[in-house]
């Protein structure tokens, strides 16, 4: 039976991120994709010009009508736009009791446009993590969620992971694609590699992929939706992240033949 993923996120008219990119990823994995739009955006591949949030009550109505017909295996959250939407989702999740939820905490666009209001950021930290299977912040998002000024080294990635884990998710994946300092007191990785760190509350796992020196639109959406897809197909979190890394690297570097992802299985 075909598995079903529900993505709850903003719409990207360029197709490179948001709902459109999520649905494309689910299709690539052979899954049925459902979508609930939290905001319309005016954007292209380079910048976000404007955001028009959907009222929280209508976001909930979109979800409720889908649940009348479909059994959802995984829920993936992206851009949530407002605190009212975050709060409405937290209330819904308490009732709906979804088994697997992936949160990509989209806070600001790469061009600097806010994609979640201040109230939403506070509520995102307080209300959603306890329902979450895995949260996938980049370095900036990790710093915000962890209450840190910055996350710019492997040691700071570890600290942020621990702090975010205390908020309630089962797993934390801090994405270090823009990490500059790669030396750690207990671990050194290749500076030519992009490094992501997975934390389960006890152990840290490092995922390395070839660093691609291109500014690619929507990579966070691609990775998180691919993780959700792997979870829907029955992979454990470790394998879901590994396969998602491979898929993401293929998408953002289509003209390169080297798609390998190396994994350091040692506990840090």
What is the tens place of the pLDDT at every residue in 132-150? 999 999 999 999 999 999 9
Quick one: pLDDT at residue 212? Answer: 62
Quick one: pLDDT at residue 61? Answer: 98
Quick one: pLDDT at residue 197? Answer: 96
Indicate the DSSP class of residue 131: G
* Alpha carbons 41 and 78: distance in angstroms, whole number: 13
Give the residue with greater pLDDT, 13 vs 184: 13
Q: Are 130 and 171 in contact (CB under 8 A)?
A: no
Closest CA to 31 of 251, 235, 229: 229
Closest CA to 152 of 136, 172, 165, 138: 138
* Alpha carbons 184 and 10: distance in angstroms, whole number: 36
- 213 pLDDT tier (thresholds 50, 70, 90): low
How large a percentage of the chain has pLDDT more than 90?
Answer: 73
Give the residue with greater pLDDT, 74 vs 44: 74
Task: Return mean pLDDT, the chain.
Answer: 89
Quick one: pLDDT at residue 218? Answer: 78
* Alpha carbons 121 and 222: distance in angstroms, whole number: 22
Quick one: pLDDT at residue 265? Answer: 40
- 209 pLDDT tier (thresholds 50, 70, 90): confident
> Per-residue pLDDT for 16 more than 50?
yes
Quick one: pLDDT at residue 252? Answer: 76
- 267 pLDDT tier (thresholds 50, 70, 90): very low
* Alpha carbons 103 and 4: distance in angstroms, whole number: 17
What is the tens place of the pLDDT at every residue in 140-196? 999 999 999 999 899 999 999 999 999 999 999 999 875 764 444 444 444 567 789
β-pairing verdict for 261-264 and 204-210? antiparallel
- Domain range summary for the chain, segments of one domain joined by +: 4-264
Q: Are 6 and 229 in contact (CB under 8 A)?
A: no
* Alpha carbons 255 and 38: distance in angstroms, whole number: 34
CATH number of 4-264: 3.40.1190.20
Beta strand ranges found along the chain (DSSP E): 4-11, 32-43, 48-53, 74-77, 101-103, 134-135, 171-176, 193-199, 204-210, 261-264
Tokens standing for 105?
């905490």
């Amino acid at each position: 039976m075909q598995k079903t993923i529900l993505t709850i996120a903003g719409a990207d008219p360029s197709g490179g991120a948001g709902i459109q990119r999520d649905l494309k990823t689910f299709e690539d994995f052979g899954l049925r994709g459902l979508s609930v739009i939290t905001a319309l955006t005016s954007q292209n591949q380079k910048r976000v010009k404007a955001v028009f949030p959907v009222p929280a009550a209508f976001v909930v109505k979109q979800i409720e009508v889908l649940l009348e017909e479909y059994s959802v295996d995984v829920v993936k959250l992206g851009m949530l736009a407002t605190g009212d939407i975050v709060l409405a989702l937290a209330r819904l999740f308490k009732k709906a009791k979804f088994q697997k939820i992936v949160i990509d905490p989209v806070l600001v666009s790469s061009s600097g446009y806010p994609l979640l209001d201040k109230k939403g950021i506070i509520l995102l930290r307080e209300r959603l993590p306890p329902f979450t299977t895995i949260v996938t912040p980049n370095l900036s998002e990790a710093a915000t969620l962890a209450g840190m000024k910055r996350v710019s080294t492997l040691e700071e990635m570890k600290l942020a992971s621990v702090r975010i884990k205390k908020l309630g998710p089962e797993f934390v994946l801090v994405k270090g694609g823009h990490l500059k300092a790669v030396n750690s007191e207990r671990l050194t990785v290749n500076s030519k590699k992009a490094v992501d760190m997975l934390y389960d509350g006890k152990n840290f796992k490092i995922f390395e992929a070839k660093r691609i020196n291109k500014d690619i639109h929507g990579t966070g959406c691609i990775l998180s939706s691919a993780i959700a897809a792997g979870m829907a197909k029955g992979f454990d979190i470790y394998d879901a992240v590994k396969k998602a890394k491979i898929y993401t690297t293929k998408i953002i570097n289509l003209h390169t033949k080297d798609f390998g992802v190396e994994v350091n299985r040692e506990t840090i």
